[in-house]
Amino acid sequence: MDIIKTKKKMQEWADSVRKEGASSGFVPTMGALHAGHSSLIKRARSENGRTVVSIFVNPTQFGPGEDFGSYPRPFDEDRRMCEKLGVDAVFCPETAEMYSGPGYTSVRVSSITSSMCGKMRPGHFEGVATVVAKLFNCVKPDKAYFGQKDYQQFRVIEALVRDLDLDIDLVMCPVVRDDDGLAVSSRNKYLDGSQRAAAPGIYRALLEGESMIKGGEKNGALAVKRIKESIKKSLPGCRIDYAGVFDALDLSPVKNIGADVVIAAAVYVGKARLIDNILVKL
């Protein structure tokens, strides 16, 4: 497995894979790899001749006061996991290497970033879209793999690829959960024992919303009320950043449910901001 630290070396590696005629699958990550990441890596391996994983904790997608400094960075463990999973190259540039240019340019995806996490974390998706565009230009993949766990992120990358005519296929992979339903996340490490025990209440609340909607509830506000009550009941000390029912494509809040929706929430449990969602196809 190759460890690649510069953009130029990554591009040369990508070019040599192209020359061989092999397809390449790409899994962008911020490291602290877990079962969610490995599901993406396995999928990428099964569909491509070469698999590249990037590990880069991108400063520009963190807001002031967020956890950029404390975000876990267990590089040796990550490298071992990638090796075990048969990854061909890990792209892990330092921040100064990644942002070596003057930084005059950024990618801003409008409209679909005005709700959900985009509303609560101003600038976050501009940081994400810009770094993913840069990573795509370094890794030059045929296919890129993202988790449904970050549903809005997937829609943002999809818009970026469509609007800028990038020749990359995107694959959305299902949310990987622990046995009790909690979505696996690098940020679950921040939870203490009792917070961890209560955290699956977020998913249970989303499931309640899903069963209301599948049972015929058309009033988005009523579903949201139930979801928020359920979260507060299971996690009395938490702070709900947002919880809502959103159009599955344009991500606007839905009052009258008539098409596919995503039920999504972000909840502060202690230091951890946990996100989760369920896609409901009608």
| Catalytic annotation, residues | 37
Is the CB of 37 or the CB of 196 nearer to ligand AMP? Answer: 37
- By beta-carbon proximity to ligand AMP, the closer residue of 183 and 243 is 183
For 158, the 3-state DSSP assignment is helix
What is the pattern of x (binds ligand AMP, CB under 6 A) and - over residues 77-116? Answer: ----------------------------------------
Per-residue tokens: 29: 């990550």
Minimum distance from CB of 36 to ligand AMP (Å)?
2
Per CB under 6 A, 185 contacts ligand AMP: yes
**40 counts as binding ligand AMP under rule CB under 6 A:** yes
CB of 186 to ligand AMP, least distance (A): 6
Residues within window 117-156 making contact with ligand AMP, judged by CB under 6 A? 146-147, 149-150
Shortest gap between Cβ of 183 and ligand AMP (angstroms)?
Answer: 5
Q: Three-state secondary structure along 162-208? A: HHCCCCCEEEEECCCECCCCCECCHHHHHCCHHHHHHCCHHHHHHHH
Residue whose structure tokens are 């990441």 = 37
Q: Could you tell me which residues are beta bridge partners of residue 244?
A: 264
Task: CB nearer to ligand AMP: give 212 or 273.
Answer: 273
| Interatomic CA distance for residues 161 and 144, integer angstroms | 11
Residue 183 interacts with ligand AMP (CB under 6 A): yes or no: yes
Q: Taking CB under 6 A as the criterion, which residues in 160-179 touch ligand AMP?
A: 173, 175-176
CA distance 28 to 130: 13
Contact (CB, 8 A) for 142 and 169: yes
Q: Does 186 bind ligand AMP (CB under 6 A)?
A: yes
Q: Residue 85 CB, nearest distance to ligand AMP (Å)?
A: 13
- At closest approach, how far in Å is the CB of 179 from ligand AMP? 13
- Strands, E assignment, 72-188: 89-91, 143-147, 169-173
Closest to ligand AMP by CB, 154 vs 217, is 154
Closest alpha carbon to 58 in 82, 29, 86, 84: 29
Return left, alpha or beta for 273; rule: phi > 0 is left, psi -120 to 50 is alpha, else beta. Answer: beta
Contact residues: ligand AMP, CB under 6 A: 29-30, 36-37, 39-40, 146-147, 149-150, 173, 175-176, 183-186
